[in-house]
Amino acid sequence: GKALGIHLKSYVLMKMSYFCIIARYKPFVNIENPLHLKDNQGVKIISWNVNGIRANFKKGAFAEIFALKPDILCLQETKAEPSQLTPEILSPKGYTSYFSSSKIKKGYSGVAIYTKVLPEKVTYGINMPGDDDEGRTVTAHYSDFVLINCYFPNGGGAPERLSYKLEFYDAFLKY
């Protein structure tokens, strides 16, 4: 919160089960151009729940989203491991990608970040047992901000999943 000098801005698409958070943690951040891009036009960040990265690639939606020329693209619910992806999906021209995939169930959850500018550091998970196994979070640390791409668990189904969802929220807030 503001009391800690941290300003949070979340970009939510469609529903609360997935979103991307940007946390500015330096007081004199270059807000207009935090990635220090040459064109100084600000940063374009797109967050998209793809509900299957391979299917969207086949439909042409992947090309459409990159035609928008985001500086950073955050995907949720990729439902694939990097080893299952083609080079066109893994390494679009001009971008570096970072994937976190489910280790417990193939074709389940997963998040990715595509970025034009290399982050200083990339981390996976939120230090919660089970989260790292489900591939729900990848965090990119840039010089002036931290970007968290997170796919929040659904609380539907069995009561254990609601419990897991609430535990995940608590762990995320601590993270």
Tell me the pLDDT tens digit for each residue of 15-64: 334 455 554 444 444 445 555 555 556 788 899 999 999 998 999 888 89
Q: How far is CA 35 from the centre of its chain?
A: 17
Answer yes or no: pTM beyond 0.85: no
Buried b (16+ CB within 10 A) or exposed e, 32-71: eebbeeeeeeebebbbbbbebbbebbeeeebeebbeeebb
What are the pLDDT digits (tens) for 109-158?
899 999 999 999 999 999 887 557 888 999 999 988 899 999 988 877 78
